[in-house]
Each structure stands twice: as structure tokens, then as C-alpha cells.
Amino acid sequence: MPGPLSHIRVLDLSRVLAGPFAGQILADLGADVIKVERPGVGDDTRQWGPPFLTGEDGERGDAGYFLAANRGKRSVQADLADPDGQALVRSLARNSDIVLENYKTGSLAKWGLGYADLAAIRPDIIYCSITGFGQSGPRAGQAAYDFMIQAMGGLMSVTGEADGHPGAGPQKVGVPVVDLMTGMYAAIGVLAALARRAETGEGEYIDLAMLDVMVGSLANQAMNFLVSGNVPRRAGNKHPNIQPQDVFPCRDGHVVVVVGNDGQYAKFCGAIGRPDLAADPDFATNGGRVRNQARLLPQIIAALACEEMAVWVARLEAAGVPCAPINTAADAFADPQVVHREMLVRLDHPVAGSLPMVASPLRFDNARIVYDRAPPLLGEHDEEIRREAGRA
């Protein structure tokens, strides 16, 4: 059964992560994604290592960073500043449904490859421009990277240990979360435009900014500020609105406890041998626990410090209290649930042979995702794509 987007062609002019990640989502869903890359150089992330893929003969391949966001695509080389490259893109656009690009504002229009230029060739084309700050405003012409936007968009102000705690200071998230969220919003946007096109026959231009995505993703922290006027602060792993939710030390490590309601709190107190903490009126409701956490949390810490992590995880799970060990990446891939869900897949790769990759989290009953194309080598599909475009 072909994927749900097997009838769609995507022209991916993007580099690094946000755009390519969106393209990989669409490729996983069955779209034919053509990745256009700089001749002899390719996507910047091909060189963003180590680690690099290594073949059986010791040949060095692409960086893991590139491999994470380019599965399922075909690669063709083209210099967009050169008339031949521009002509190739225009030829490909004629038979493409979606264009993804993340060049600086105005760059592609200067080369005759902006939305207006390609819409003149294919009026119903869906063109998604991904930039750091959008197509308008005082920062529109500036470049941006994930780390910058985590800082500017408020995320780092609420990430990290609280002032006064050892190691206090703002922290970025351990994965490029703004790039990934921007990629997901790009995929959502083009799919919404496809649905509208099916009804109206009209194409669309999508202006997507990383800073907008970050501000829009502050979620409860943003509303906490807008409702109260109080600026959210770093609180380590403590949840600002629900307690107890934190990382707690055990005899041999740490356990994450995520109590989500008053019923779970009562079960938690029973499981740790402190039913009195559930009976205390200062702690009986979540609001009381948030207000009085300075008195509550030290008592929980003292109770959990007396046993090993595995003991607490087993005991709390048996009581129906959400909790978790803090896994490494290796631990996560070995987790029986992750194994059962087949989140690790292997693809045939011309350098590595069998290439392990992280699967898509999407599951369809009637259009199962098929992984049949590894991340491409630079220019791997030059000949066939140029032939399809009539420019062989």
C-alpha cells in the first residue's frame, strides 16, 4: 500500500535542519522529495561531525547530523546562483506540489526562484519559506540558528537550575528543539495548504519564522506570564504548576516522579511510606502542594533516598504513579516498549551497508510507512532527476 502522500512531489531547497526535517516527514509519508544541493559541497550538515558514517572499507560517509533529517529523499546538485541551476529548479517546480526553502529573505527571488516566479510556472504550487525571523519586521534579513532562537524566544530563561542552586544558569535544550518544531510546523502548514488546494484549486505561500515558533511554543509558561504578569523563572526540573513533579535522588541514582492529580498524589504517598503527607491539608490539593513545596519536597527527598532507583520505579508503577528512570540514548533504544514499537529501523546504504535509523512515530493502519530509501549521497540521483526534468 503506497504512503498517504505518494501522489505528491516536494522540491526541497532547504539546508541544515528545520526544512530538511519537514522534508523527511513528508518523505516518510510517501512523497517524492527531491533535495537540491550545492555542487561538490551539499547540505552543510554533511560535514557537521564527528561522528561520521564509516563504511566497511573505512570510507568516511556523511555526518550523523545529516543522516537524521534526510531519509527518503533523492539528491541532485545545482548551483542556484547559476542560470543552469535556476533552469533546473524551474523545470522541477513545474511538476512539484510543494517547495521548501530556508534561504535569507529575498535571496531566491533575486535568482528568479521566489514564490511569484515559481507560481507563474505552476499556479497551484505550495511554497513554504522558513527563516529565523520571517519575511517582514526589523530582523527579517538576519540569519538565525536554533541556539540563538532558544535564547531570544524565552526558552532558556525557564530552562536550567534556579538561581542560588549549584550550577545555576540558563541552559539550552539538549536537542535542536526549535529546528525540530519548526520542521513539524512546516509539515503541518503544507499539508493544510494541500487540503485547501484540494477544495479550491489554489496554491499558497507560507511564511514560517523560527522565532514565531519558539514564542508560540512557550505554551503554559507564556500563559502563566500573560495571566499573572509574573515572569517565569528557571526552576530546574520542577514543574511550575504541578507538584510533585521533579527529579528525585535515590540511593543509587535518580528517579523522575510525575504526579498529575490529587488521586495519584495519595497513591504516591502510600507507596513511599508517608501517607501522612496525603492527609496534611497543606498538601492535599495540587494548589497547596505548589504553594507549600518548600516544606513538602524535602520530606519526599528524604523518603526516596533510602532505596535504589529500580525499587522505586517498580513500587511506584505498581501503585499507578507515573515515574521513570533517566535513560541514556542507549537505554531508550533498549527499552522493551521502544523495541516493541519498532522505533529503530535499518535501511540499505551504499557506504554503510545496513544503516540504523530512528523510525517515524506515525502509525497508519491503512497506509503503513515504508522505509525504502536511505539518506542520499551527494548528487546520487543527478542523472535520473535531470532526465525527468528534461535537462539531461
Tell me the CB-side half-sphere exposure of residue 26, using CA atoms within 13 A.
Answer: 33
**C-alpha 228: how far from its chain's center?**
30
Do 316 and 368 fall within a single domain? no
Helix (H) or strand (E) holding 134: none
Q: How many other C-beta atoms lie within 10 A of the C-beta of residue 143?
A: 10
Residue 144 main-chain phi, psi, to 5 deg? -150, 150
**The pLDDT of residue 31:** 98
Do 151 and 292 fall within a single domain? no
Q: What is the CATH number of the domain that holds 314?
A: 3.30.1540.10
- 33: amino acid identity, one letter: V
Q: Please identify which residue in the block is written with the cell numbers 542556484.
A: 80
Do 310 and 365 fall within a single domain? no
Q: Is 224 a domain residue?
A: no
Select which of 12, 28, 179, 246 is catalytic.
179
Domain boundary among 333, 348, 379: 333
Domain boundary among 333, 349, 377: 333
**Catalytic residue status for 179:** yes
Do 146 and 31 fall within a single domain? yes
**The pLDDT of residue 58:** 79
Query: Can you give the pLDDT of all 392 residues of the chain as single tens digits?
Result: 689 999 999 999 999 999 999 999 999 999 999 999 999 999 999 999 999 998 777 788 999 999 999 999 999 999 999 999 999 999 999 999 999 999 999 999 999 999 999 999 999 999 999 999 999 999 999 999 999 999 999 999 999 998 888 878 999 999 999 999 999 999 999 999 999 999 999 999 999 999 999 999 999 999 999 999 999 999 888 888 999 999 999 999 999 999 999 999 999 999 999 999 999 999 999 999 999 999 999 999 999 999 999 999 999 999 999 999 999 999 999 999 999 999 999 999 988 889 999 999 999 999 889 999 999 999 999 999 999 998 87
Count of structural domains, the chain: 2
3-state secondary structure labels for all residues of 326-351: CCCHHHHHHCHHHHHCCCEEEEEECC
Do 86 and 208 fall within a single domain? yes
Any idea how long the chain is?
392
Q: How many other C-beta atoms lie within 10 A of the C-beta of residue 219?
A: 8
Helix (H) or strand (E) holding 314: helix 309-319
Q: Please identify which residue in the block is written with the cell numbers 529546528.
A: 179
- What is the extent of the structural domain holding 113? 9-217+361-389
- Whole-structure pTM value: 0.93
Tell me the CB-side half-sphere exposure of residue 82, using CA atoms within 13 A.
Answer: 9
Do 277 and 319 fall within a single domain? yes
Q: How many other C-beta atoms lie within 10 A of the C-beta of residue 71?
A: 25
Q: What is the CATH number of the domain that holds 74?
A: 3.40.50.10540
Distance separating alpha carbons of residues 327 and 329, to the nearest angstrom? 6
Do 166 and 22 fall within a single domain? yes
